[in-house]
Structure 1
Amino acid sequence: MVYITRERAIIKGSIFVVFLGFLTAVINGRSDHIYRTIVAILGLSIPLVLPKKLLNPPEKVKPFLSPVYDERTMAVLGIFIAVHVSLVNVPFTHYDLFHRDWRNADMISHFLGGLTVWLIVAQILSELEGIGIKLSKRQVVLYTFIVFYVLSLGWEVAEKLSESEISFIHESLTNKLRDLLMDTLGALFGWWVVEKRRYPFGLGRD
């Protein structure tokens, strides 16, 4: 009997949910969502395949691959991707809660996205000791938030600049600030979970 961990089951379940989104996109003729779901399925398949194909990655890249090799972190990513894809097009319906039918749905994605990004960055930074870069817990937290806000602000700026190219993206400054707030709440929740529950990993001690 093959034992499947809870996290691996979550990743596979997330892929299945995204696949339902792919079928919905095909039925609805949404080429943008077909592309989105294919990329999501391929991306979520990496943590299921790569650790088996590359048992011992080169030492210099181990810290950067550490989230991919940690099924707990990838399970969080899987939940985020599955929820986001389902909000953009609710399976087997025409509802686009993200862009059209309930514009506040992006608050859910930003919270989960903030949580996921914070966890991935924090895990990479906490593993840098393996290549000779030793950071204290405080430094890991500080640098994680710096990288996190660079990525979050960069995303919002890129999204704003793309408004002229993508007709369904048009957000006010208030909406952008709300997005950053939800990103931050997600990141703070990630910090709390890592600090108090040591899940999906621990940051060690100062």
Structure 2
Amino acid sequence: MIQLALLRHGHTDWNRAGRIQGRTDIPLDDDARAQLAGLRLPAPWDSADLVSSPLARAVQTAKLVAGRPPETTRALMEMDWGKWEGLCGVDLKSDPNSGFRDIEYWGWDYTPPGGESPADLRTRLIPWAHGLTHDTVSVCHIGVMRVLLAHAMGWNFKGDPPFQIKRNRLYLVQIDPAGWQASPDQIRLEHRV
């Protein structure tokens, strides 16, 4: 059995403005860099394998909290939001012609215009996760985390999720060929002394 610890990247200017980032490569903002520089991975996760999305915000977060560069993989790229990238969700939601709805109500197969569905994301994530050979910290994106946690918990993207993703916390998933299980507990990053 492999333990996978998921960590969401720190804030960017686009996060704070409510803009959909998807695969757009936006770096951490100054406040996030300063905050993350004061945090670290707790033991035993500080010595686990470290992997991240190749997008700058994830790589920067990994380096800051782990003190070392991560291995990167395209499997952990954020969901492709297609034509909605760079736009604000509240604006899309207020336009009845946009087709926008909150991801919690997409089901596995809803796809944003020109983008990627949760099922598409799951298709690239599950083989990656089954290829892990050691306990691993993955610094990634909320879409990636939603799909992996949904897979582990049996949530189908139809209604309120059985989890809430916050920053600066590790979310644990046990990966076993017989089945996946997500821990209800979260592990907070520790403050550097």
TM over 0.5, shorter chain = no
User: Highest Rg: 1 or 2?
Assistant: 1
Using the size of structure 2 for normalisation, the TM-score is 0.32
| Structure that is richer in strand per residue | 2
Using the size of structure 1 for normalisation, the TM-score is 0.30
| Structure that is richer in helix per residue | 1
